[in-house]
Amino acid sequence: MRAIGRFLLLVSVVGACRAAPRPLTPGDGMLQVPGGRIWYRVVGSGPGTPLLLIHGGPGGRACRLYELRALADERPVIFYDQLGTGRSERPADTTYWNVAHFVEEVAAIRRQLGLREVHLLGHSWGGTVAAEYLLTRGSEGVRSVTLAGPLLSTPAWLADARALVAQLGEPERRAIAEAEASGRYDTRAFAAANDSFSVRFNRRRAPSPAADADCAGSSGNDRMYRAMWGPSEFSATGTLRDYDRTARLGELRLPVLLMAGEFDEARPATMEAFRARIPGARVAIIPGAAHGMMNDEPAATAAAVRGFLREAEREKAR
């Protein structure tokens, strides 16, 4: 009887330690994940399956996905800042700056918000997190995944960067080559070249006043970016330098949408190469947009995602 009593006590303690699902109602809050607390926001309360947005970086912010609020007329749209950036806590311990931790964040969000069924959308580095979640945790309850300008292969990303740098003027190409050779990325020449690259292939328009206002009071984490990626978009020296899931993309067995802007640094041709490896995957290219497609062409981007989510839900209902 004592053994049974100890067992029941253990079960009750374990049950008490599990975070109870929170009502999925619009508003902001904080969630506990390994290492600290992360900020999240739910927008909308429509009947559709919730959409969880995973921002880019590493060290980016959810507010850069602001324009996807347009989808909240049909379903809850969930934004969150990863631990260490944005409005989330910034613990001194940097050992959690690894892919496995950020995958665990997705699992923790699903548990605590009761997201038994969910759509995932990962932008840039967020595409890494979404793909890793599916490849390591499985796709149970995940109705679809949208990989927007995703980092799925560091070699492919760097090859795209080289192809696009080749389209810049000779002074910009020289400044980038000199920075890569010397390791000095603090020169005026490199800053000008980087700006030239960014306005063509990263973000072609200024954020809307509403999007800028949403980002007020929060900031990204450049240290995290440098530790996990490197000193620039053109050079991977961090923990992601050997990252490559190209060979495993065929394991994604759910509706997949690959997106890119027409002028994306994650080039449309690369999205097509990824699509060829994923059974049934689709590609959407947003005309006139660069990597920040949500910012550059918000209406077209939201429309592409909206159509894909509706189609995925229709397929599920059949």
28 is catalytic: no
pLDDT greater than 60 at residue 6: no
Query: What is the chain's mean pLDDT, rounded?
Result: 93
Band of the pLDDT at 315, cuts 50, 70, 90?
confident
Dig out the tokens for 52 from the structure: 């969880």
Q: What is the structure's pLDDT at 318?
A: 65
List 88, 124, 196, 232, catalytic entry: 124
pLDDT greater than 60 at residue 14: no
Q: What is the structure's pLDDT at 251?
A: 98
Is residue 151 included in any domain, yes or no? yes
pLDDT tens digits for range 286-311: 999 999 999 999 999 999 999 999 99
Q: How far from 8 is each of 16, 33, 245, CA to CA, in Å?
A: 12, 27, 43
Q: What is the structure's pLDDT at 21?
A: 52
Is residue 232 included in any domain, yes or no? yes
Dig out the tokens for 241 from the structure: 């330098």
Q: Specify the DSSP element, H or E, that contains 82.
A: none
Range 272-284 average pLDDT: 98
55 is catalytic: no
Is residue 5 included in any domain, yes or no? no
Q: What is the structure's pLDDT at 195?
A: 97
Band of the pLDDT at 22, cuts 50, 70, 90?
low
List 119, 196, 291, 296, catalytic entry: 291
What DSSP assignment string belongs to 99-167? HHHHHHHHHHHHHHHT-SSEEEEEETHHHHHHHHHHHHH--TTEEEEEEES--SBHHHHHHHHHHHHTT
Q: Give helix 188-201 / helix 170-182 axis angle, nearest 10°.
A: 120
Q: What is the structure's pLDDT at 134?
A: 98
Is residue 142 included in any domain, yes or no? yes
Q: What is the structure's pLDDT at 24?
A: 87
Q: What is the structure's pLDDT at 16?
A: 35
- 310: domain CATH number? 3.40.50.1820
235 is catalytic: no
Is residue 203 included in any domain, yes or no? no
d(CA 207, CA 72): 20
Band of the pLDDT at 99, cuts 50, 70, 90?
very high
Dig out the tokens for 178 from the structure: 């000199």
Is residue 192 included in any domain, yes or no? no
Is residue 189 included in any domain, yes or no? no
Q: Which structural domain range is residue 222 located in?
A: 21-165+212-317
Classified as helix, coil or strand, 296 is: helix
Band of the pLDDT at 17, cuts 50, 70, 90?
very low
Give the N- to C-terminal CA distance of the chain in Å, as an integer. 51
The percent of residues above 70 in pLDDT, for the chain, comes to 92
pLDDT tens digits for range 205-260: 999 999 999 999 899 999 999 999 999 999 999 999 999 999 999 999 999 999 99
| Count of the separate structural domains present in the chain | 1
Is residue 251 included in any domain, yes or no? yes
Q: How far from 15 is each of 10, 11, 12, 106, 295, CA to CA, in Å?
A: 8, 6, 5, 20, 43
pLDDT tens digits for range 119-155: 999 999 999 999 999 999 999 999 999 999 999 999 9
Q: Are 135 and 69 in contact (CB under 8 A)?
A: no
